[in-house]
């Protein structure tokens, strides 16, 4: 299941064609009842997640796991953990973060490793399409009646060929391509808008009764999401101009910084999972220079996000993850490498200020506290209050594990 790309232009087009509606429309109420997924927690403090995906896989020996032979120098941080000297601002907030240096995942192909690290499973395993962690969070912790989507993906397409999997389209991410939506209004009156949408909804509902087509259900879900965005005032979360100059400076005045700031505003408005991305980490040539540049671009917005969440009392209830699909050969910082690499976690009420896992002097092998894909997903689930030992029941009635059996959370974090 792929993401549902929904730009500002898309939403205006929905309004002009009359293909979205308000909750007041009769067809919408019946559809919403069918689409509502489980919400395991009514607690207002339910945790949210911001996943920063570093596309291509950063070289851990030049970023999070500096060695004596590394071409980039390490620097001590506020927690005492040494990371790249080019993470100057991030170093100041490392008491609220942990570096997992024991990632051992065994897949060095971009596409399949990206699927693996988003879902905890290899593609095709168990004969199903597995949901990404964002879809799991949306399913388990999201509010089906929320005005904003529970899972938002910001930036260039990431979920090509995977997404909500067997959970279905209602838990797929909404993709925001341009980083903001502005004010969303239909091109006609709301009354006419709702009347047109009700007509389209009746047609779709009749078709669903005769043919339970997944594509029709996906269409319905898209309409429902568009409608909520049309009618809610919470789209103000996309208006970054509402932020003070001080806050904008904290994140930095870049396009990437705007994505980080948007992520905080979305979580603050009730979105449970936001994924944003920094491209360029597939550094096969000019590795050191490119890593230095990318680290500098990431440093200010990531440190700003952690600081801002803490200042607002949101850090304990927001898990921040910064990772790619694998690492790089520790000898050169180039080439794909999945036997020993690193991930950064911050916030989420975890015990931070440390590095977990050890790759020894060379960085080529995890010598202590290895973390596999299932262990990693189990850790994330426990961090946000999801029971990782449970099974899904798919449409055929067959039970499917949420997290690979035998996986264990990283105990040092809890």
Q: How many domains does the chain have?
A: 1
Question: Which has the closest alpha carbon to 194: 223, 165, 151, 153?
Answer: 223
Q: What is the CATH number of the domain that holds 60?
A: 3.40.720.10
pLDDT score, position 354: 97
Backbone angles phi, psi at 347, to 5 degrees: 65, -150
User: Does 18 reside within a domain?
Assistant: no
pLDDT score, position 20: 35
Report the interhelical angle of 373-384 vs 133-141 (nearest 10°): 30
Backbone angles phi, psi at 212, to 5 degrees: -80, 70
Q: How many CB atoms lie within 10 A of CB 267?
A: 24
User: Does 94 reside within a domain?
Assistant: yes
pLDDT score, position 363: 97
pLDDT score, position 159: 79
* Angle, CA 317 vertex, CA 244 and CA 173 arms, to 5°: 80
User: Does 21 reside within a domain?
Assistant: no
Domain range for residue 104? 36-182+239-413
User: Does 230 reside within a domain?
Assistant: no
Rounded distance, CA 134 to CA 39, Å?
A: 14
Q: What is the pLDDT along the chain (414 residues), one digit of tens a residue?
A: 445 454 444 443 333 333 333 333 433 443 444 344 444 433 445 699 999 999 999 999 999 999 999 999 999 999 999 999 999 999 999 999 999 999 999 999 999 999 999 999 999 999 999 999 999 999 999 998 888 999 999 987 777 778 999 999 889 998 887 545 444 555 566 667 666 666 666 666 666 666 655 655 665 666 666 666 666 777 888 899 999 999 999 999 999 999 999 999 999 999 999 999 999 999 999 999 999 999 999 999 999 999 999 999 999 999 999 999 999 999 999 999 999 999 999 999 999 999 999 999 999 999 999 999 999 999 999 999 999 999 999 988 999 999 999 999 999 999
User: Does 220 reside within a domain?
Assistant: no
* Secondary structure E strands in 172-225: 174-176
User: Does 210 reside within a domain?
Assistant: no
pTM of this structure: 0.84
User: Does 348 reside within a domain?
Assistant: yes
Rounded distance, CA 75 to CA 88, Å?
A: 8
| 130-167 core/surface letters (b: 16 or more CB in 10 A; e: else) | bbbbbbbbbbbbbbbebbbbbbbbbbeebbeebbbbbb
User: Does 58 reside within a domain?
Assistant: yes
Q: How many CB atoms lie within 10 A of CB 215?
A: 9
């Amino acid at each position: 299941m792929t993401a549902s790309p929904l730009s500002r232009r898309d939403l205006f087009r929905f309004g002009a064609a009359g293909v979205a509606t308000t909750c007041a429309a009769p067809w919408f109420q019946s559809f919403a009842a069918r689409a509502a997924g489980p919400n395991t927690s009514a607690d207002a403090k339910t945790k949210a997640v911001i996943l920063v995906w570093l596309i291509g896989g950063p070289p851990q020996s030049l970023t999070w796991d500096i060695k004596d032979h590394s071409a980039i120098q390490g620097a001590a941080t506020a927690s005492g953990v040494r990371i790249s000297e080019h993470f100057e601002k991030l170093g100041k907030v490392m008491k609220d973060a942990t570096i997992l240096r024991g990632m051992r995942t065994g897949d060095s192909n971009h596409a399949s490793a990206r699927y693996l690290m988003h879902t905890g499973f290899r593609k095709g395993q168990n004969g199903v399409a597995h949901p990404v962690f964002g879809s799991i969070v949306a399913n388990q912790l999201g509010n089906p009646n929320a005005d904003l989507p529970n899972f938002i993906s910001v930036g260039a397409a990431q979920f090509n060929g995977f997404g909500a999997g067997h959970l279905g389209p209602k838990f797929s991410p909404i993709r925001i391509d341009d980083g903001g939506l502005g004010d969303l209004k239909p091109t006609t009156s709301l009354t006419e808008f709702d009347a047109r949408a009700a007509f389209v909804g009746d047609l779709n509902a009749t078709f669903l009764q005769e043919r339970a087509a997944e594509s029709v259900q996906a269409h319905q879900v898209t309409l429902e999401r568009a409608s909520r965005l049309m009618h809610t005032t919470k789209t103000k979360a996309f208006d970054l101009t509402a932020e003070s100059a001080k806050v904008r400076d904290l994140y930095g005045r870049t396009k990437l910084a705007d994505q980080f700031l948007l992520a905080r505003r979305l979580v603050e408005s009730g979105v449970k999972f936001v994924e944003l991305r920094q491209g360029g980490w597939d550094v096969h040539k000019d590795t050191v220079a490119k890593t230095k540049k990318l680290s500098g671009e990431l440093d200010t917005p990531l440190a700003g996000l952690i600081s801002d969440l803490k200042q607002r009392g949101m850090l304990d209830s927001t898990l921040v993850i910064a990772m790619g699909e694998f690492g790089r050969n520790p000898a050169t910082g180039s080439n794909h490498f999945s036997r020993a690499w690193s991930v950064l976690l911050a916030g989420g009420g975890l015990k931070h200020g440390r590095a977990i896992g050890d790759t020894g002097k060379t960085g080529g092998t995890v010598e202590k506290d290895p973390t596999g894909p299932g262990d990693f997903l189990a850790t994330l689930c426990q961090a946000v209050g999801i029971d990782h030992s449970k099974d899904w029941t798919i449409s055929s009635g067959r039970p499917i594990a949420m997290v690979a059996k035998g996986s264990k959370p990283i105990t040092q974090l809890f």
